[in-house]
Amino acid sequence: MSNETKKELGLFDIFALSTEAIFSSGFFLLPGLAAHHTGSSVILAYFLARISIMPAMFSVAEILLLRHVRVELTFFLIEA
């Protein structure tokens, strides 16, 4: 019995590695570049982006809540 492992990369493995490299560069490199070029205003930009995304976030949360809670939510709405 041999304890050697195969050292082969398939198409899916290469695709996964390249996709991970692209996402990592976007998540970690670009905010640093933005902070370098704009200075401290990047903090304001992230704050405004967070405020602007909140309605969509609450809409998705409400949809997920309504999807999973049916009887309890109906009782809660009748009592209110």
Q: What's the pLDDT at 51? A: 93
| CA dist 44 → 2, 7, 15, 16, 23 (Å) | 58, 47, 36, 34, 23
Q: What's the pLDDT at 72? A: 60
| CA dist 15 → 6, 8, 50, 61 (Å) | 18, 14, 31, 32
Q: For residue 56, what is the enclosing H or E element?
A: helix 41-68
Q: What's the pLDDT at 75? A: 58
* pTM score: 0.44
Query: What are the tens digits of pLDDT across the range 29-80?
Result: 778 888 888 888 888 888 898 899 999 988 888 887 776 666 565 655 565 5
